[in-house]
Amino acid sequence: MGHLGGKDIYQELGHKIDNMMFSAPQKQALFDILKHLYSEEEADVVIKMPYSFVSLDRIIKSVGYEKAKIERIIEGLCSKG
């Protein structure tokens, strides 16, 4: 699955994480770890999700995927903690 934005999706994910309550070093080692932990599809969902706790319906609106697909992706993310 290619990312349409042109920018590396794992760099985008690293920046999303860096904007949370903690800082993440924006280095290749971090991007390599994220690439190992998350598929491009999972990374895309995390990037597009709101920062706060929200309902599944809000996630679906933010991400733009169908409900069944987003449920499958979120289930996979839950198993990763």
Averaged in consecutive runs of 10 residues, what is the pLDDT profile of the chain (81 residues)? 62 88 83 92 93 92 94 91 69
Prediction pTM value: 0.79
Three-state SS across 11-63?
A: HHHHHHHHCCCCCCCCCHHHHHHHHHHCCHHHHHHHHHCCCCCCCHHHHHHHH
CB 8 within 8 A of CB 28: no
pLDDT of residue 6: 44
Which residues are within 8 A (CB) of 73 and not within 5 positions of it... i.e. 6 or more apart?
41, 42, 45, 65
pLDDT of residue 20: 80
pLDDT of residue 19: 83
